[in-house]
Amino acid sequence: MATKPAAPAAPEYDFDNWTEEDEAKALLEAVPVVKHIIVERRFIGRFENGELVEVPLTLSLDTVDMLTDNSSSPVDQFKMLLTDIAGPEVAAKFASHDLVEASIMAEKFFRTLQRVQQAAFPES
């Protein structure tokens, strides 16, 4: 009669020796890689899995009003923008990503948009 293989042992965690340095290192390792480029007045973001998100950096005042009137969350605003520009399927695909990844993408877009506005008025 064959013997049943032993169940894998539960991992051992060392809670007693966990340090702030361990925490800082683990946090940095947990951050997903979300990149972006700017091409012809468009923000093109890439999630860690290679999926792309493309949004124009030319928003109408009406679009900006719609975003700010309906939510103060950058993630929700970005999702609304995707729905408005690219359709609900693209917005749903964006929403299926991990919260941290989606937050990074939304923040990168809005920071880039802000930098475009600042570039229009360079300091003398």
The pLDDT tens digits for 25-68 are: 999 999 999 999 999 999 999 999 999 999 999 999 999 999 99
Torsional sign, CA 107, 24, 27, 23: negative
pTM: 0.82
Give domain limits for the chain.
32-119
With residues binned 3-state (H G I as helix, E B as strand, rest as coil), the percentages for the chain, rounded to 5, are: 50, 10, 35
Q: What is the Cα–Cα distance from 101 to 31, expressed in whole angstroms?
A: 8
Residue 33 · residue 48 · CB < 8 Å: yes
pLDDT band at 121 (very low <50, low <70, confident <90, very high): confident
Q: What is the per-residue pLDDT across 72-104, written as a single tens digit (0 to 9) for each?
A: 999 999 999 999 998 999 999 999 999 999 999
Residue 67 · residue 80 · CB < 8 Å: yes
Q: What is the DSSP-derived secondary structure letter of residue 10?
A: P
pLDDT band at 124 (very low <50, low <70, confident <90, very high): low
**Torsion on CA atoms 21, 30, 76, 119, rounded to nearest 10:** 70
